[in-house]
Chains A and B, each alone.
Chain A
Amino acid sequence: MKKGNDHGKHKYGMVIDIDKCTGCGTCMVACAAENNVSVRADQSDKERTITWMRLYKISNGKEFPHTEVSYFPRPCMHCDHHPPCVSVCVATATKLDFNTGIVSQIYTRCIGCRYCQAACPYGARYFNWWDAFPQDKGMDRYLTPEVSPRMRGVVEKCTFCHHRLMRAKTLAYAEDRRELEEGEYVTACTEACPAQAITFGDLNNPEHEVSKLIKHPFTFRLLERIGTEPKVYYHSSRDWVRKLGDNFLPGEYTPVVNKTWAEEEWSTKPGRDEF
């Protein structure tokens, strides 16, 4: 069986460098501000709080003073191979667009059954339990017209800021172009990251930085072995971080040590344990 959607024109994806990631949370705030994500008084209940981009805190579990924490910023993975949410949607409210690789979510079509939420292995989908915006506080004044505010009773998730793709295309058309340059369309989190930890681009275009980065031996994906081919990649020089990318049984994980083909270009110096 053929994996992925090679027949499409573009396949947008991102690589998040966990070494650069500072865990500051700017991506989460940028995402919420960009996408009219709702804000409620109590946001500590993480099952009810909507965060299209969410930081997962991880730790190497070692004792003091050898403890390290790190973060997996988790947008929607935009799975390329039978996205689990798409196959279960009874209302066809979510689809994988083969031309962009983006998994769409149409709020007006969603019936709120939350099947997709249960199906998503990454917890990337969120249900609107309440109407999003406090009525009398003037907070609807910062909403952007580029993204539709959601109503209660529908599921929402990261869209790879597809409205930015529209925006970039519109600008390209105004300039009499049909194709986009690298960097013309990036997501809000990519742009916002103060440490430039996120790289976004077209995985089908070998010239794009992302296509090069995903070949690196330090690059991995979350729950890679369930075969959904996520288009969000992670990159870390620390073994323990890579190991947490999947649920490995003892002995299943092979540390990355000097992959020969890349030895010249990519050094795999030991992590800080040997510092």
Chain B
Amino acid sequence: MKLTRRNFIAAVIGGVAGIQATPLPWKLTDDVAIWTQNWPWVPVPPTGEFAEVSSVCNLCPGGCGIAVKKVDERAIKIEGRTDYPVNPGGICPVGMGGLQLLYDESLRFTGPMKRAGLRGAGQFTEISWGEAFDIVAGRISTLRKKGMPEAIAAVDGNPEGTTVSALIKRLMRAMGSPNYVRPPSITDTYRMGNLLMQGTLSPMAYDLENSDYVLSFGAGLLEGWGAPGRVMNAWGMWHDGNPSKRKTRIVQVESRASNTASKADMWVAPRPGTDGALALGLAHVIIKSGQYDARFVAEHSSGFDDWRSLEGTTHTGFKRLVLEKYSPEQVAKITGVNPKTIVSLAKGFASAKAPVAVYGKGKDSLNGSLYEFMAVQSLNALVGSINRSGGVLLPDPIPLSNLPILKVDAIASEGLKKPRLDQAGTMRYPFTDSLINNFTDAINNSPKSPVDTLLVFSANPFFTLPDGGGFKNALEKIPFIVSFSPYRDETANMADLILPDCTYLEKINDTVWPTGLQYPLYGLSKPVVEPLYNTRNTGDVVIELSRAIGESVGAGFPWENFEEALQARAKGLFDAGGGLVSYDSDAPAWQRKTAGKGPKPGYKSFDEMWEEMQSGGMWYRPVSSPKSWKGLFNTPSGKFEFSSKLIAQAIEDYSNKISKKAALKNMSLAAIDDEACMAHYEAPKAGADSSAYPLRMLPYEMMNLASGWIPSPPFLYKTIFENQLLKDKSFAAVNPKTAAKYNLKEGELVAVKSPVGELQVRINLFEGAMPGIVYLPLGFGHTAYDEFLKGKGVNPNNIVQAGQDPISGYPVWWNTPVKLVKV
């Protein structure tokens, strides 16, 4: 039979009819519909068993307690711990986004690496840990054999007092190099000021939660000062929903309407760098009105009234200095603050029950000025808020054991005799531990870098130092750089060798006494997840490196691993007794308990304590009652010194060595004699002609942007406003009046020019900016990391022209002369 066209059509019709009675068209339609609802490229997060691991955040020295949520082996969310004394429940946005710093692979080094491309290009090839150790140890051993161990230098950004920092210091000493420097921090200023005025070495302890009047001189309470989780928690407590129940007044002294300034009960805006003068103005009003704590001043202070020395010369006291030079009218001229405001502020402060004046400069990651701190601390002393509940407490230092005494060999002891490159601790900077700006200059000013090998730990000085790009130039000169950073930061990109650390969620580490906390706290973080990559805890690496160098260096590190070293130091916490290792949120650590009432430690042995610390992550002692006055102040006079005898002695010693004039010049001092020993105001030397550079540039910090060595988690860029960053341009906040002067409109592109460089930004007209000041946000302008962070905005540090703070020598980063030029 022949298949005709007609037959065929019949069969097709039959087929079409027949197929209707089968599931094919219907099921196919349904399946296709479902298929279009499939997005195979959209990840489906695997589920599993939910768990929560407690640890401590290490992203800033604040050390908040964190609870990391996990699904099987994956960490999926970081939350604040309610069972941790520092931050009952909350953490800052940086800590909240921490998992991106763990899991964003392009931010991280995945193993030890050797530089493959040009410096700064970020091209590396992976090597083995053995090879990496061979390279560093070989280089160090060669330098030591040549008798020049001082050519090894280290920049250590780990918070002071942490065990890894102690080990790094120890390694430097064991190798024989004095050139151990740290990036500046506000704690340096606190330490020096407290040493000079109180003779104490314990950390700054502001009893904020118990205060009823917090007068903050520049401390960015809501910008990340101290432990952000603690301060913001206190902020919530201070602002009861019912205003009549609010017990604490908050006053912010700052030139810009920051979050703290706006949210405070009162905002006072002096010119940048004149906070000290304002504090002295308050002191003037308080002294004149007799509102000061006469008992404290008489019994526990020295240098308040004029006094006669043994030789018979009359010395000016604090009282006379303040009364003569800092009347509200005089201060108004310096600061631009209305004299009436100064008077009412002083009255309010002095009549509060437990006032406290807090000193700071934004976050705690940049230094302050010594005399400003002394002025603020003098104010605390005047109202008797030193060693008083709700004021400044003077707790004992944290009782960590000292590491065993280090025996150094002949090479090392020769090396340690060599002068430090940064001159810290010399007669010129007698009280300073470390001056990284001088270190940078020493390298940049010599034809050949005096540093052969630079070790960089937990720091990104290339980006974070307010030095106009000086450190970057120094890096280019240093022959060999080793970075221990887990992140591909700017400094690491300049390095020749990377020995990557684990991130804070992959390792055991400690935090020691968060900045400004009023009670001793030791936090212990633990690995929340197994290390994702071939990285090692720098604590372990330092110990291993010492072994690889061998000789007496290795002998100085008798611990099997980092955890043993941690235990060795924590032994002291057990020996001291009385420390708590768990926290009950109903008994806040800042709340004073009647003696014998508070919670008691439950552990019997060190091992028991350590085990509990590993699970709980903490050792602390609840806030103590004010201490007995006897022997409290370890100053030459045995009292709180309005006029520091140590400064007087240092100036005298230095003047005896070189001329007095030269000594004062070298110490960057304008004041002389008695005034130089007390809190006073000195106008910073103008770095440039004010007609050429009529404006001042002030970098400012934000809570929601990391400006230190830790990169910002990409999530944080969601919180940045479009008038702070737009595409690749960041904004300068300028008062509309200032902008009008230069005919600048919102969003307009300008160059901010300082004597050392220029930056292109857009203009943001902001009423809350002080006229005449250009405010640039810190934390933008990365040239490293990945597409989330790179090339966004500019880094104001690159145009900072920093003078030297008198006596301390720290960079005065808040006084850069600039001009605005339309692009």
Contacts and interface: CB of A to CB of B under 8 A. Distances in A.
Does a CB–CB distance below 8 Å link A and B in the complex? yes
B43 A22 contact: no
Contacts of A55: 719
Nearest to A265: B242
A36 B45 contact: yes
B51 to A, nearest CB: 13
Interface residues of B, number: 83
B120 interface: no
Interface of B: 37, 39, 41-48, 69, 71, 74-80, 87, 89-93, 96-97, 99-100, 102-106, 222, 228-229, 232-233, 235-236, 239, 241-244, 257, 259, 262-269, 532, 703-704, 713-722, 725-727, 735, 766-771, 786-788, 792
A237 B77 CA distance: 34
Interface string A37-81: 001011111100111001101010111110111100000000000
B266 A275 contact: yes
A1 interface: no
A32 B718 contact: yes
Contacts of A138: 103-105, 532
Given A20-B236, A265-B242, A272-B266, A196 B100 contact: no
Interface stretch (A5-13, A128-136, A243-251): A128-136
Given A23-B263, A267-B244, 16 more contacts: A19-B241, A22-B703, A24-B704, A25-B703, A26-B91, A29-B718, A43-B720, A44-B717, A44-B725, A137-B104, A137-B105, A138-B105, A145-B76, A193-B236, A196-B236, A272-B266
A145 B717 contact: no
B721 A33 contact: no
B100 A17 contact: no
A64 B771 contact: yes
Contacts of A205: none
A213 B42 CA distance: 41
A128 B106 CA distance: 24
Contacts of B244: 266-267, 269
Q: Which 4 A-B pairs have the closest CB atoms?
A: A194-B90, A267-B244, A25-B719, A195-B236
A151 B37 CA distance: 10
Interface of A: 17, 19-26, 28-30, 32-34, 36, 39, 41-46, 49-51, 54-55, 57, 59, 61-65, 67-70, 108, 131-133, 135-145, 149-151, 191-197, 213, 216, 218, 235, 237, 265-269, 272, 275
Contacts of B77: 33-34, 142, 144
B92 A64 contact: no
Given A69-B768, A142-B100, A268 B79 contact: no
Given A28-B718, A57-B721, A275 B96 contact: no
A108 B222 CA distance: 41
18 contacts: A23-B703, A24-B228, A25-B703, A30-B79, A41-B788, A44-B726, A57-B721, A64-B770, A65-B257, A67-B766, A142-B74, A142-B99, A145-B47, A194-B90, A194-B228, A195-B239, A269-B243, A272-B266
A49 B718 CA distance: 7
A101 to B, nearest CB: 23
Given A64-B735, A144-B77, A137 B222 contact: no
A135 B40 CA distance: 12
Contact of A143 (B39, B76, B105, B716): B76
Contact of A149 (B43, B75, B241, B243): B43
Given A267-B242, A269-B243, A28 B721 contact: no
A197 B222 CA distance: 14
A151 B268 CA distance: 49
Given A67-B257, A69-B262, A213-B241, A59 B767 contact: yes
B246 to A, nearest CB: 8
A59 B262 CA distance: 9
A20 B245 CA distance: 14
A112 to B, nearest CB: 13
B43 A140 contact: yes
A26 B100 contact: no
Max chain B Cβ within 10 angstroms of own Cβ: one of A191, A193, A196, A268: A196
A23 B767 contact: no
A195 B727 contact: no
Contacts of A139: 100, 103-105
Contacts of A28: 93, 715, 718-719
Given A41-B788, A43-B717, A33 B236 contact: no
Given A42-B727, A64-B769, A275-B265, A22 B42 contact: no
Nearest to A19: B239
A33 B96 contact: yes
Contacts of A135: 41
Contacts of A17: 239, 241
A23 B726 contact: no
A144 B233 CA distance: 27
Given A17-B241, A41-B788, A194 B42 contact: no
A268 B106 CA distance: 53
Contacts of B770: 64-65
A29 B79 contact: no
Nearest to B48: A145
Contacts of B532: 138
A222 to B, nearest CB: 18
Contacts of A137: 104-106, 786
A2 to B, nearest CB: 30
Max chain A Cβ within 10 angstroms of own Cβ: one of B46, B91, B99, B241: B241
A137 B239 CA distance: 42
Contacts of A61: 767
Given A61-B767, A237-B243, A275-B265, A39 B715 contact: yes
A272 to B, nearest CB: 5
Max chain A Cβ within 10 angstroms of own Cβ: one of B47, B236, B717, B721: B236
B93 A26 contact: yes
Contacts of B263: 19, 21-23, 70
A64 B42 contact: no
B97 A33 contact: yes
A267 to B, nearest CB: 3
A50 to B, nearest CB: 8
Contacts of B242: 265-267
B89 A191 contact: yes
B235 A195 contact: yes
A272 B265 CA distance: 6
Max chain A Cβ within 10 angstroms of own Cβ: one of B37, B239, B718: B718
